[in-house]
Chains A and B, each alone.
Chain A
Amino acid sequence: KQEVTQIPAALSVPEGENLVLNCSFTDSAIYNLQWFRQDPGKGLTSLLLIQSSQREQTSGRLNASLDKSSGRSTLYIAASQPGDSATYLCAVTGLWDKVIFGPGTSLSVIP
């Protein structure tokens, strides 16, 4: 059974700092890994999708890496801004395209 964990559960940083969010999964037989952002009371917004054959993906100030063999992914956010404050969730797609989520990391960027 696939289990996904995220560390830390919460993070508070001053504006402008670079930061790393971590995601771990127990079953390395995945098709892809996706990072999402969720604002309070809202649905999820897709940030980056990494296919199992890829090592990383970049979008603007975001960079996500994937090490399938060790069951880990990181989301790197450069030059953080107050608008980046949200919950960040990772999700892995496994056999038959079943998608399992981690519990999320709540990020607060202090002006």
Chain B
Amino acid sequence: DTGVSQNPRHKITKRGQNVTFRCDPISEHNRLYWYRQTLGQGPEFLTYFQNEAQLEKSRLLSDRFSAERPKGSFSTLEIQRTEQGDSAMYLCASSLSEVYSGELFFGSGTQLSVL
């Protein structure tokens, strides 16, 4: 297992287009998290999953954002009708939480630029 994998690494799109990002977590990890990060800021929580169940979605997210984790494996994050303010690094992380809350492991991120 090579860790958390995110695709694509970079995405350039025009305003108004839809984009989808994929995250493949570490295989045995039951928790999967999505964060958004802009330059000079810490990662901002977007949403997270326990297996296939979405536990919480940030109130900062508009209805243009949706995430899924079918079958509790990989996850996708879709942004519809992109806006320039959506430009950011989108980070995915996973952890194994059983008796103790587990260590969080991150992917390399997807850098989105909306023109």
Contacts and interface: CB of A to CB of B under 8 A. Distances in A.
Interface of A: 4, 6, 31-32, 34, 36, 41-46, 49, 51, 89, 91, 93, 96-104
Main secondary structure of the interface of B (DSSP, over half): strand
Contacts of A101: 35, 42-45
B65 interface: no
Interface string B16-38: 00000000000000010101000
14 contacts: A4-B42, A43-B108, A44-B91, A46-B105, A91-B104, A97-B50, A97-B97, A98-B55, A98-B56, A99-B45, A99-B104, A101-B35, A103-B41, A104-B41
Given A44-B91, A97-B95, A102 B103 contact: no
A43 B91 contact: yes
Given A98-B56, A100-B45, A46 B103 contact: yes
A45 B31 CA distance: 17
B62 interface: no
Size category of the binding interface on chain B: 20 to 34
Given A41-B89, A100-B45, 20 more contacts: A43-B91, A43-B107, A43-B108, A45-B106, A46-B106, A49-B103, A51-B100, A89-B42, A91-B43, A91-B104, A93-B104, A97-B48, A97-B50, A97-B95, A99-B104, A101-B42, A101-B43, A101-B44, A102-B42, A104-B41
A34 B103 contact: yes
A43 B91 CA distance: 7
Main secondary structure of the interface of A (DSSP, over half): strand
B106 A96 contact: no
A44 B103 CA distance: 12
Interface of B: 31, 33, 35, 41-45, 48, 50, 55-56, 89, 91, 93, 95, 97, 100-101, 103-109, 111
